[in-house]
Structure 1
Amino acid sequence: MRRDSGRGGVVVHPFRGYGSQREAFIMGRVFRQPGRLLAWQEGGMMQDVVDIARRVVRRGIAEARVDIRLGATHASVTTDRDGYFYAHIEITHTLPADAIWHTAKLQVISEEDAISTETEVYIPPASTDLIVISDIDDTVMYTGVANKLKMLYRLFVETADRRTAFPGVAALYRALYGGVEGNRKRPMLYVSRGPWSIYEMLEAFFNMNRIPVGPILFLREWGMTLKRPWPRKAEEHKSDVIRNMLALYEDLPFVLIGDSGQRDPEVYTEIVKAHPDRVRAIYIRKVDDDPARDAAIAALAEELRQAGCELVLARDSVSMAEHARDKGLISEEGCEAVRADTRAQQQRE
């Protein structure tokens, strides 16, 4: 948005890719971005408002050809009706063992332009022992999904520096990323029902708060138009992402993190039932004061306990960190960092 200096035109935005030594997945979008009609003061509020509007009204370019090269492997795909492309690449050569990020080169050819660009693809190291999948909204940062109008305002209007991470979240996720030894570099996968148009803001938010950004943010296309001004339904979005990751990293256990405000406990319970022995722990951030909801989650926790998985409902990151330390998922130093981070953030507030 900033790099085009208000000119607009055809833009290629590849998202971070991910995969294994056998296969890789690369996603992105080709779209037409409107330009600014007037020149606003650089960095001013009116420019922010205009750029938000430009981001929302982007229109995808359908049937553009996307050629992708990852090392010696080549694949070609075309964009869908919304301008998105999804490439599944079977890796036929050996990737460098000392790297976890690999550069993929893309060339996009549409009726209007030909654009070359690059993106990064995350391949977990051989030492990876755990995959972490986390919700974003009301789990990592405060969104207020129960109030739809406030949620939409925060999604589209608030800049990254005005968004609030829950106390201790950054230290907890760094501890999970590093593991007991501190250098595991575990995949950190984040899922949201928010639209792909907020991808750049989320990247800035994660970097600003020093939260391990992991290989990818799994968002979705809302498909909003003047005739249909509300997002497409996506009840299975989160469970589909988790199931795909379970299949991709079939030899690794998982930790799932969510919140009590929506259906994360129910979705995660169904995942454990369908894939026994794959989930080491579930952490649910308590974001409401509903006794009936607490009782429902407690019943799910008991159900999961009998299936060999522990669900922890906690209002703060420290309780999650202490459980993760006791389970051997993070170090004592990582747990203490969560305590210190929580205290420091609460004092600032």
Structure 2
Amino acid sequence: MGLFYGRDPLQLIVFQTYGSDTYLYIKGRALEDENIDLTKKNFIHLLINSWKRFETDVIGNCQIKLKLPNGDFHEFKTDVEGYFLLALNKANLQSMSNEEGWLAFEVSYADESIKRSIQLENRFPGEMLIPSHFSDFGVISDIDDTILQTGMMSLLKWRVLYNTFLKTPGTRIPLTGAPEFYHLLHRGASGEKSNPIFYVSNSPWNLYLYLEFFLKNNNFPKGPILLRSLSAFFNRHKLKGPDDRPHKIREILNILQTYPALPFVLIGDGGEKDADIYLEIAKMYPDRIKAIYLRSVKHQKKMLRVAGLFKDYTDIPVLLVEDSDQAIQHAQENGLIVLK
């Protein structure tokens, strides 16, 4: 629960982000709590919840306070869409994280002008991942049709709409074997590592809680979930200059630049632009990418195009996989994972 503002209580949704021992990166959104129950399954509730996810009442231009485990406080402000971002240099952050590398903190509303007389709770938890220096590699994974069947290949994308608006995350089934494969990658070649997993999707931030619930409910390794704003989602065809790179490329490049000593495994699907993006990244960082896995989709023309992209590319192992078993076998043969 949160502070009351107008008719609904306020909340702060803190996105799972990533940083380093010397770099703090906090991101989230301030908005009214629409009381979305992700477990509701009847048709009316599904429609109501879908409407609430996109009809958000944001709290723009308000002061937010961050409290770190060591007692340090920092204040910052939301933008007009309610998003907040705090990025600053800070020392010894890793000493405050747990054994998996997660730094826990709290955020709260600092702006007294938005508070009403009734206050239930003004403490909202968040976490930032600081990968271990002993990690073998990191994993950057797409979500749609890579671990979660969306129906992107369906006629007029009708199944995407059905899956997004008329199915709860609790009823969505991951692609077979995906959780096991990701846990094997997370534990690495020794089976005892905490290799970081980054989930990068073109979905809007409005679906953050939905996707977070899905990943947790299906036992995927916890990792930063990197989405984009709804305005950027609708303006994706208006990119013009080199600084206006597509969302997914920008996020992947930022991860690579944040951890310059860490190699990565890239996982996606053959349905949209993952193959093109990953090939571009691999050519930019040939010594940083250990393998590329692309899940096959039921669209022969698209898969032929993807196969053609990598036909003469031999610098990095690239595997077009029909199922997770193929990926697991390949990863084991290439020394990325161990089966016990």
TM-score bin (small chain) = 0.7 to 0.9
Residue of structure 1 equivalent to 2:240: none
Task: Give the aligned residue type for 1:112.
Answer: I
Question: Relative to 1, partners in 2 of residues 1:273 and 1:332: Cα closer, same or farther, differing over 3 Å?
Answer: same
8 Å Cα contact 1:160/1:201 also seen in 2: yes
* Secondary structure of 1:323's aligned partner: helix
The AA in structure 1 aligned to 2:277 is V
- Offset of residue 177 of structure 1: 0.7
| Runs of 5+ unmatched residues, structure 1 | 37-41, 225-229, 334-349
Corresponding residue for residue 102 of structure 2: 101
Q: Does 1:274 align with 2:277?
A: no
- The letter for the 2-side match of 1:183 is E
Question: Equivalences for 1:3-42 in 2 at 5 Å?
Answer: 8-34=8-34
Assess if the C-alpha contact under 8 Å between 2:61 and 2:82 holds in 1: yes
Classify the secondary structure of the residue corresponding to 1:298: helix
Aligned to 2:119: none
Rounded Cα–Cα distance in structure 2 between residues aligned with 1:212 and 1:250? 23
Matched, 1:311 2:307: no
Q: Tell me, in whole angstroms, the C-alpha distance in 1 between the residues paired with 2:98 and 2:136.
A: 17
SS in 2 for 1:304: coil
- Separation in structure 2 between the aligned mates of residue 262 and residue 301 of structure 1, nearest angstrom: 15
Q: Which moved more, 1:123-132 or 1:292-301?
A: 292-301
TM-score by length of 2: 0.85
Give the TM-score of the pair, scaled to structure 1.
0.83
Instruction: Indicate which of 168, 184, 188 corresponds to 1:179.
Output: 188
Contact 1:284-1:314 within 8 A present in 2 as well? yes
Contact 2:271 2:299 in 1 (8 A): no
> Is contact 1:259–1:286 with CA below 8 Å preserved after alignment?
yes
What RMSD in Å do the two structures reach over aligned CA positions?
A: 2.7
Counterpart for residue 242 of structure 2: none
1: CA distance, partners of 2:67 / 2:219? 31
1:258 correspondence with 2:268: yes
How far apart in 1 are the matches of 2:49 and 2:19? Answer: 33
Distance 1:283 1:187 in 2: 17
Alignment of structure 1 residues 38-57 onto 2, 5 Å: 45-57=43-55
Counterpart in the other structure of 2:58: 60
Distance 1:293 1:146 in 2: 10
Name the aligned partner's letter for residue 135 of structure 1: D
5 Å-filtered alignment, 1:142-161, equals: 142-147=149-154, 148-161=157-170
Match of 1:81, SS state, is coil
Aligned residues: 317
User: Which residue number in structure 2 is paired with residue 205 of structure 1?
Assistant: 214
SS at match of 1:59: coil
Residue by residue over 1:170-218, the C-alpha shift from the partner in whole angstroms, topping out at 9 and shown as x without a partner, is: 111111111122221111110111121222221221122111122x111
- Structure 2's unaligned 5+ residue stretches are 117-121, 238-244
SS state at 1:25 partner = strand
Q: Which amino acid aligns with 1:240?
A: R
1:193–1:219 contact (8 Å) kept in structure 2:
yes
Q: Following superposition of structure 1 onto structure 2, how do residues 157-236 of structure 1 map, counting pairs within 5 Å?
A: 157-214=166-223, 216-223=224-231, 231-233=234-236, 236=246
Paired with 1:30 and 1:327, the residues of 2 have a C-alpha distance of: 44
Q: Indicate conservation of the 8 Å contact 1:140/1:169, yes or no.
A: yes
Aligned to 2:114: 112
Amino acid at match of 1:264: D
Q: Name the % identity.
A: 30
Residues 189 and 66 of structure 1, relative CA distance in 2, 3 Å threshold: same
Q: Deviations over 1:68-91 (max 9, x none)?
A: 233365433211221111111312
Q: In 2, distance between residues paired with 1:93 and 1:316?
A: 42
Residue 246 (structure 1) aligns with? 256
Q: Aligned-pair distance for 1:154?
A: 1.6
- State the SS of the aligned residue for 1:223: helix
- Residue in 1 aligned with 2:74? 75
Q: Which has the higher contact order (CA 8 A, sep 6+)?
A: 2
